[in-house]
Structure 1
Amino acid sequence: MQSVTFRLLEVFQSIVDNGSITAASTALSLSQPTVSLQLKKLTSVVGMPLFVQTYGQLTLTEAGEAVYQCAQEVLGSHSRLESQIQALQGVEVGILKIAVVTTAKYVIPPILSPFCQQHPNIDVRFTVGNRATIIDRLQHNQDDIYIFSQPPVDDSLQCTPFMQNKLVVIAPKDFDGPDNCNLQTLSQYKFLLREFGSGTRRAIQEYCDDNGITFNNPMIIESNEAIRLAVTSGLGLAILSEHTLAQTPTDGVKILNVTDFPLVNHWQAVTVKHRQISLAAQAFHRALLNVE
């Protein structure tokens, strides 16, 4: 068997992470034929197909999964070595990969901004996605730190709370229905809810299950911003994070006084226990824990 080179692994990881040969060629500043050739060489070395085409998309084979895991370990170790050597020389460098669920896109930038100013040589890769997307990235060990309000239950994960996430009940500005009441009283009204996979929806569902509450014909909307706009337009009531409301105009909505609300959970920084965390990720993890 021929040798699997560092460069072949680097190109292969980029194809997987970016989703296509074309996107990988852009990310690596290489021509598309060059990337295709590197993939062909690696496939030849392994002796088995690494991808299959599924509805026009590249899907990893079992051999591809094994090679991708190897690429992560090898390239991750190389990146950590570079960071450690640079740190010994007094220069802070390295790559920091952060993946956050959509609501956390309002939470992390204010923390990330001063961090980047203090560590200007760290290359930050910031990914935002819905819960399913971030869980998929977590399962493929693509990032250093993941931010959830409702992390997956998995013994292989280290979950560290760092900031409160308060959920409040909102209504249109001209809402003249019940206030200073419980959620059961409001459940007769139409509620606008996130999809079942979202962390916000999970927190709401747990509360409703514990208190025997069922919403009457709720409307499912897969965006916090769209929910806020829908409430402003008078389509119904909603339960959103205060962080979402703080970043958008709220002149068209009002927060209702509801028993047990705001519901309080915590934003959590999630890392994979068996993945050795880089110096850059360690520094950002400390920054999260120092948030007031």
Structure 2
Amino acid sequence: MNYTLNQLRIFLKIVQTESITKAAEDLHLTQPAVSIQLKNFQNQFEIPLTEIVGKKLYVTDFGREIAVAAENILNEVYAINYKTLAYKGQLAGRLKISVVSTGKYVIPYFLADFMKRHQGVELVLDVTNKSKVIESLENNEVDFALVSVLPTQLTINKIELMQNKLYLVGNREVTVEEKLYPKTVFESIPLIYREAGSGTRFVMERYFENNQLAVTKKMELTSNEAVKQAVIAGLGYSIMPLIGIKNELENGQLQIIPVQNFPITSVWNLIWLSPKKLSPVAAMYLEYLHKEKDALVKERFDWFENYR
């Protein structure tokens, strides 16, 4: 056998995403490049690693066993690199964070300076919905998770980063006829939801339930960007985090519909399992956040904190 570390890395990402397209996106490669590497890797085994049924890729049982071995090999390689850097006096290791989808507008600003200071740290950042974020934390697959809705089933520690604000939004063609709509406005407009498992959807449904509102779900979409584009196109309204619609508000593609007792507010928390022994990298990152988070919020999110 003559497989390369790059083939192992690509195959492991394919197994994790169960998609050549998604693997290519995550690795910043072209889809043909990923397909070629998968084929070259597969050619070294007599037993299939993957199967295509319909148009969907499935990983075989044998393929999953190879993926476990591939991850172990890559971890050993990373360990060699980290030990080399540590010997030179540099902080080194992997920092793994799972982030709910709207958290992608927040977490980079709390990471950028830390990563610049510590060149030996490798960041593994997974952006997904709330259910999968909590699952990865529960399975001890990550150091931290960024959420705006705290899990009730886990014993966790947390550090508050900044507040989260959710507003009712519509597109530029909507005529706002009142300075402040009553909450019953939700019973007369078509609403666009995030998928089940999304933190934003959880907040929406809790609000409607607490206020005993009978609403009409127009459609359900699987990402914040998809919801945003659907609202811009005029397919309906949605409750969206302010943090993710700054550009669209500024260029007039979206507008906030004023509703009584809005915005809905929560807090972005970085959480970790209470019993977990943090790695040196994770502990250093936590120390960095305690020292720098207030200054970062003031510098990077002043527009957000002062938005009315």
Deviations 1:109-136 (A, max 9, x none): 1221111112122111122122333233
Hey, what does 1:230 align to over in structure 2?
Answer: 230
Hey, what does 2:293 align to over in structure 1?
Answer: 291
Separation in 2, partners of 1:17, 1:137: 16
Hey, what does 1:108 align to over in structure 2?
Answer: 107
Change (3 A) 1:160 1:76: farther
Separation in 1, partners of 2:257, 2:12: 46
Deviations 1:225-277 (A, max 9, x none): 22222222222221100111125464122112212211111111121233321
Matches within 5 A, 1:208-227: 208-227=208-227
Hey, what does 1:255 align to over in structure 2?
Answer: 256
Equivalent residue letter for 2:110? I
Hey, what does 1:175 align to over in structure 2?
Answer: 175
Hey, what does 1:155 align to over in structure 2?
Answer: 154
Cα root mean square deviation, aligned: 4.4
**Does the residue aligned with 2:293 lie in a helix, a strand or coil?**
coil
Deviations 1:179-238 (A, max 9, x none): 402222342111112123100111111111111112124322222222222222222221
Hey, what does 2:119 align to over in structure 1?
Answer: 120
Hey, what does 1:93 align to over in structure 2?
Answer: 92
Hey, what does 1:5 align to over in structure 2?
Answer: none
Equivalent residue letter for 1:157? I
Equivalent residue letter for 1:265? S
Separation in 2, partners of 1:274, 1:59: 33
Number of corresponding residues? 276
Hey, what does 1:275 align to over in structure 2?
Answer: 276
Answer with 123-132 or 206-215: which moved more.
123-132
Give ranges in structure 2 of 5+ residues lacking alignment.
1-7, 24-28, 30-36, 295-308
Separation in 2, partners of 1:82, 1:272: 27
**Does the residue aligned with 2:91 lie in a helix, a strand or coil?**
coil
Contact 1:80–1:278 (Cα < 8 Å) also in 2: no
Separation in 1, partners of 2:274, 2:60: 24
Contact 1:101–1:128 (Cα < 8 Å) also in 2: yes
Hey, what does 1:265 align to over in structure 2?
Answer: 266
Change (3 A) 1:52 1:232: closer
**Does the residue aligned with 1:103 lie in a helix, a strand or coil?**
helix
Hey, what does 1:8 align to over in structure 2?
Answer: none
What is the CA distance between 1:159 and its match in structure 2? Answer: 3.4
Equivalent residue letter for 1:148? V
Contact 1:80–1:279 (Cα < 8 Å) also in 2: no
| Pair 1:136 & 2:138 matched | no
Give ranges in structure 1 of 5+ residues lacking alignment.
1-11, 40-50
Separation in 2, partners of 1:175, 1:102: 30
Equivalent residue letter for 1:147? L
Contact 1:151–1:159 (Cα < 8 Å) also in 2: no
Separation in 1, partners of 2:76, 2:158: 23
Change (3 A) 1:128 1:219: same
Contact 1:178–1:186 (Cα < 8 Å) also in 2: no
Separation in 2, partners of 1:34, 1:54: 17
Answer with 169-178 or 181-190: which moved more.
169-178
Equivalent residue letter for 1:273? S
TM-score w.r.t. length of structure 2: 0.67
Of all paired residues, the percent bearing the same amino acid is: 24
